Amino acid sequence: MTKVQYEFKDTLLEYVYVIAGAAVIALGFNLFLLPNQVASGGVSGISTILNGLFGWNAGIVQYAFNIPLFIAGVVVLGKNFGMKSLVGTLTLPAIVILTQSWNAVTLNPLLGAIFGGIVVGFGIGLVFKGKASTGGTDLLAQIITKYTGLTLGTSVLLIDGIIALSAAVVFDIEKGLYAIIGLYVTTKTIDIIQLGFSQSKMVYIISDMEDELRDTIYEQVNRGVTKIPAIGGYTQKERSMLMVVVYQTEFTRLKQVIQTVDPKAFVIVSDAYEVLGEGFKKA
């Protein structure tokens, strides 16, 4: 397969991700969020509030906000958001309109917030895999950031916070709390889709017995060890810090090895969501 063919295949797959993601978001919105009046941020949250207030069609409201925001993003930010983002911007409200007559899966607001958040987060994750967006308040957040100096994260939090507060005012306090739950679940689901479930641990070890510890890890855990130069903050002495990455199934054995060789070792453990290279996934 030629380079051009590979590029065409990758581009086509990205469009599939965007369209499929938009469809999943629309289903999560119509089957879980809208019927339970869970306004979990973004343009979908705004459309939920306006639907509850005036009975306006949610898909039409999303078109009314997304298209101007997309245009504003191009004009004000001076960026080329690309055809894929335009496809996502137009596809999502269209599918919301097409599926608006489908029956809700649940009319329990808590279940709607949780499972709606999962489904919508999954859909957004697919769109992000397609290197695109579905328009909406993320573009507004970038505009606010440009003119106010706020960080992008703060701008997004400000917008979503206003939407959740509006839901609490328009509906009731509980609906506002459900909106926050839905937003939180959506965010965590996006992280899982983008990063995957953590299957590995990254371990940093500071020990006075680094050579013996390194050799024992080689022999008993069968994992490579990287020595990182470090300087003690209090002693100002140079020493090495060992770094090793293991699968979760190997982590208990690694802890046993460290405890046996140097019970006084200082150990830091964190999740490693994607590890590429020898002994792990191929790049």
Three-state secondary structure readout of the chain? CCHHHHHHHHHHHHHHHHHHHHHHHHHHHHHHHHHHCCCCCHHHHHHHHHHHHHCCCHHHHHHHHHHHHHHHHHHHHCCCCHHHHHHHHHHHHHHHHHCCCCCCCCCCHHHHHHHHHHHHHHHHHHHHHCCCCCCCHHHHHHHHHHHHCCCHHHHHHHHHHHHHHHHHHHCCHHHHHHHHHHHHHHHHHHHHHHHCCCCEEEEEEECCCHHHHHHHHHHHCCCCCEEEEEECCCCCCEEEEEEEEEEHHHHHHHHHHHHHHCCCCEEEEEEECCCECCCCECC
238-247 and 200-206 strand pairing: antiparallel
* 112 confidence band (pLDDT: 50, 70, 90): very high
Residue 278 has pLDDT above 80, yes or no: no
Among 107-121, 174-188, 189-203, 269-283, top mean pLDDT goes to: 107-121
Q: Give pLDDT, residue 216.
A: 94
Question: For residue 247, which of 190, 210, 177, 200 has the smallest C-alpha distance?
Answer: 200
Count CB-CB contacts under 10 A for residue 72. Answer: 14
Report, as an integer, the average pLDDT of 60-83.
Answer: 79
Which residues of the chain are in CATH 3.30.70.120 domains? Answer: 200-272
> Does the structural domain 200-272 have CATH classification 3.30.70.120?
yes
Least trusted range by pLDDT, from 122-131, 160-169, 175-184, 186-195: 186-195
* 4 confidence band (pLDDT: 50, 70, 90): confident
Q: Give pLDDT, residue 239.
A: 84
pLDDT digits 0-9 by tens, 203-254: 999 998 999 999 999 999 999 999 999 888 878 888 889 999 998 888 999 9
| Structural contact between residues 32 and 134, judged by C-beta atoms closer than 8 angstroms | no
Q: Give pLDDT, residue 259.
A: 93
Q: Give pLDDT, residue 140.
A: 79
Average pLDDT, the chain: 87
Q: Give pLDDT, residue 124.
A: 87
Q: Whole-structure pTM over 0.85, yes or no?
A: no
* 283 confidence band (pLDDT: 50, 70, 90): low
* 108 confidence band (pLDDT: 50, 70, 90): very high
pLDDT digits 0-9 by tens, 38-68: 998 889 999 999 999 999 999 999 999 988 8
Q: Give pLDDT, residue 282.
A: 65
| Structural contact between residues 175 and 38, judged by C-beta atoms closer than 8 angstroms | yes
Report, as an integer, the average pLDDT of 62-82.
Answer: 77
pLDDT digits 0-9 by tens, 116-174: 999 998 998 898 888 777 777 777 777 787 788 777 667 777 888 899 889 999 999 99
Q: Give pLDDT, residue 237.
A: 84
